[in-house]
Amino acid sequence: MITNTSLEYKGDLYPSKIVSYEHEGDSIFFNTDNKVILKVTILRDSLIRFRFTTKGYFSNDFSYAIDKTQLHGYNFLELTEQETYFEIRTSKVKCKIQKADLRLSIYDLNDFLILEDELGFHWEESYEYGGNIVKMSKFSKDGECYYGLGDKATQMNLKGKRVENFATDQYAYQKDQEPLYKVVPFYIGLHNKQSYGIFFDNTFRTFFDFCQERRNITSFWAEGGEMNYYFIYGPQMQDVVTTYTDLTGKPELPPLWVLGYHQCKWSYYPESKVKEITSKFRELKIPCDAIYLDIDYMDGFRCFTWNKNYFPDPKKMVTELAEDGFKTVVIIDPGIKIDKDYWVYKEALEKDYFCKRADGPYMKGKVWPGECNFPDYTNPAVREWWAGLFKELVSEIGVKGVWNDMNEPAVMEVPNKTFPMDVRHFYEGNPCSHRKAHNIYGTQMARATYHGVKRFTYPKRPFVITRSAYSGAQRYTSSWTGDNVATWEHLWIANIQVQRMSISGMGFTGSDIGGFAEQPTGELYARWIQLGVFHPFCRTHSSGDHGNQEPWAFDEEVITITRKFVSLRYQLLPYLYTMFWQYIEEGVPMLKPLVYYDQDDTQTHYRNDEFIFGNQILVCPILEPNAVGRRMYIPRGEWYSYWTNELFIGGREIWIDTKFDEIPVFVKAGAIIPKYPVQQYVGELEFDELTLDVYYKNGKEQSAVYEDAQDGYDYKKGRYSYLSLRNIGKEKELIIQLHKEGKYTTPYTKYKINLIGLPFKVTEIEIDNEKIEFDKVSFELNNFLIVDKEFNELHIVGE
């Protein structure tokens, strides 16, 4: 019988008053009389880490999310003590910490209140598991909006939502369903034209409540671990996203072919079926760079094996596919079949590399091969072993990419769809249960896969894609949004998910075009293709249980639309490659929701559909059947219709007429858009001309084109070409200025310049201050000219 009521129910506990503090370098420690310690670390003037412990000391400081190669540093740090609070000041913000209870508030240097604790940090002891359930609550300001959190199938603005982060295999998930495959505990707050970010780096199951439970309170909590979060100050959303992406890391550049179109199905087999599919793409002139092999290519679903009945000579097949421009990508899952004659299983067993239950036996669960054991990817030795397994697939057979699936980890025929929580993990020398390791399991598998593919692909670049991920996974892998459904609602979901992933640090993401589960109509498939070609990762994928989903599975009109839009993607490859360069160099997301693009315009705060592709192309998908147009919001500025070149003034919602073979696409006035000729696969053609679509603007606009050898690592040695383009428009003249950086020489020698929207008739052309006869630059009356690429300034004068 329990007689001590404080043990019978303790409830929430809170820090008490500060009794001492220490300032050590970039960190300040505040100690309370009930053993709570708050450690405040100034990483940058706009990036502050808050870490709490309730036991009087901190455990080992380790995170899988943080990119340890990033260098941080601040310009100014000052700590002052006032009567009721301590104040920490940097060159960007001020943080006040109350002496009575550690509650904190953060201001800009003009004393504008950005973020303020309500209850602040508090906790509840977990008697079932030990440790604490850690909690944080903050006030929400009037009109405050919330964005981010990665893979969420809900409205872009999270105000009024509660979400859960626990990587889960959610086959055929629906709108607003929680949780999903990925865990990105990072959100962006916006109020009064000021943006900030919170990254709650805790790998346990976490929750975020954006004013759902209590109208003016935002809270986040975890079922274990520490209250450990980073505050990121903007004030622009661009600054918040870039800082977060720097903190958790950026990927390396993919080979250009990865940005092409990919075709996948569960499953293409035998070999004759694979070649039938690839041949049909070439016959119909629909560009495609990659073909995927799902689990049926394996011998009894055993990873790193081949079913020789279906694929008698894998190396020969992969070589022949490559000769036709197709790169082969294969699936690899974490479940290793329990089979004493299976070499991968025997090696892992001998090395003791499988995850174990708390009392010693190996974790056993049913996946596609039947009963399986699962490698512990939180052990560096296991990751090194796993990486080595890719030698035959990549270096001998010639596979170009690897697709990690089922790595939430997913387990069949169990209620919670995953490992029991008592499973143990090495966790980089910080042993823990699956409660802590679950959300990072998929990322560590992708990490091991990445190092293996990279080792055996070198000197070319690797390609890895994963279904499950935690913050920081973008350093190793691309991703897709999981097992979606062939419905119009899921087309809407896919549009939002990829935008949200892009501003959550994981820009290289796409959806299963057409839907994985069930069967799309031709109209739905066409509309999905029209959206998917504007996503960083572009792949059709479907379940074999629900019919065929290749472009020719529908009618001739759908084939034509697919060819048109996939060809457009291939034309825009230099633009897309430049987007990726800016992502890896500066942390700039490749897709930008309208609120990211113009947070000061309150009309953007609740927009879901429209997004900016790169920096200068506006896209709005058609999300309903039988549409002959739609209403959409054009952001502030001037925008040309891509299809008609008609000029629109933004800052308003308007009706746009569309056809079945179009969606609303606009180009920012002043933009210079680079284009390649249409190729059936990357590298098919040698061409001597880069097209530049130049959109007139009365004013100035910057554009860029990044190019390199399209694969390999010479770009890291300076062998790239970064072309800065400045477009200066005046009433009767247009000036294009070029500045090139890098040591790479592009193979073409000319620019074909399309002049769009010129308000005058061209009468004179100067190149580098020298007047040029029209015939010497192949000037045509429909306003395009072909010029040698070696110039610095092109001056076009009119009347």
Q: What is the tens place of the pLDDT at every residue in 50-67?
A: 999 999 999 999 999 999
Nearest to 366 by CA among 397, 411, 405: 411
Residue tagged active-site, from 376, 405, 701, 707: 405
246 annotated active-site:
no
307 vs 783, more confident: 307
Residue 413 falls within a domain, yes or no?
Answer: no
Q: Among 179, 203, 234, give the residue marking a domain's end.
A: 234
483 catalytically annotated: yes
pLDDT at 5 over 60: no
Domain boundary among 206, 234, 262: 234
Q: What is the pLDDT of residue 453?
A: 98
* β-bridge mates for residue 631, sequence order: 655
Report CA dihedral (67, 70, 71, 73) to the nearest 10 degrees.
-60
The mean pLDDT value of the chain amounts to 96
- Segment 275-294 shows an average pLDDT of 98
The answer as to whether 732 is a domain residue is yes
Residues 6+ apart with CB under 8 A from 782: none
Question: Among all chains, which residue has been given the structure tokens 């495609």?
Answer: 288
pLDDT of residue 70: 87
The CATH number for 228's domain is 2.60.40.1760
Query: Domain of 108?
Result: 12-139+194-234
pTM: 0.97
* Alpha carbons within 13 A on the beta-carbon side of 594: 26
Confidence at residue 544, expressed as pLDDT on a 0 to 100 scale: 83
- From the list 333, 408, 598, 609, the catalytic residue is 408
pLDDT class of 777 with cuts at 50, 70, 90: confident
Residue 362 is assigned to a structural domain of this protein: no
Cα–Cα distance measured from residue 548 to residue 559, given in angstroms and rounded to the nearest whole number = 14
Q: Which of 226, 186, 240 is nearest to 63 (CA)?
A: 226
Is 496 within a domain? no
Phi, psi of 277 (to 5 degrees): -65, -50
Number of domains in the chain: 2
**405 catalytic per annotation:** yes
How does residue 229 score in pLDDT terms, banded at 50, 70 and 90?
very high
Residue 355: per-residue pLDDT: 98
pLDDT at 782: 76
**pLDDT per residue as tens digits for the range 9-58:** 468 999 999 999 999 999 999 999 999 999 999 999 999 999 999 999 99
Tell me: the pLDDT tens digits for 192-203? 999 999 999 999
User: Do residues 528 and 514 make contact, with C-beta atoms less than 8 angstroms apart?
Assistant: yes
Among 201, 271, 483, 598, the active-site one is: 483
Q: What is the mean pLDDT of residues 214-223?
A: 97
User: Is residue 478 classed as helix, strand or coil in its secondary structure?
Assistant: strand
Indicate whether 189 belongs to any domain: no
Strand order in the sheet with 27-32: 18-24, 27-32, 37-44, 47-53, 227-233, 194-200, 186-191, 145-148
Asked if pLDDT for residue 773 goes beyond 90, the answer is: no
The DSSP secondary structure of 732-746, one letter per residue, reads TEEEEEEEEESSPPP
Kindly state whether residue 622 falls inside one of the protein's structural domains. Answer: no
8 has pLDDT over 50: no
3-state secondary structure at position 56:
coil
Q: What does residue 274 show for φ and ψ, rounded to 5 degrees? A: -60, -45
Tens of pLDDT, residue by residue over 471-514, are 999 999 999 999 999 999 999 999 999 999 999 999 999 999 99
- Domain end position, chosen among 205, 234, 263: 234
Structure confidence by residue, pLDDT tens digits, 317-345: 999 999 999 999 999 999 999 999 999 99
pLDDT digit string, tens, across residues 160-171 = 999 999 999 999
How many residues make up the chain in this entry?
Answer: 799
**580 touches 591 (CB < 8 A):** no
Q: Which residue has the tokens 């072909």?
A: 786
The alpha carbon of 343 is separated from its chain's Cα centroid by a whole number of angstroms, namely: 35
CA-atom Rg of the chain in angstroms:
27
Helix (H, G, I), strand (E, B) or coil at 209: strand
Q: Is residue 736 part of a domain?
A: yes
Q: For residues 537 and 529, what is the distance between their CA atoms, to the nearest angstrom?
A: 12
Higher-confidence residue: 493 or 778?
493
Q: Domain with 775 in it: what CATH number?
A: 2.60.40.1180
- DSSP secondary structure code for residue 295 in this structure: G
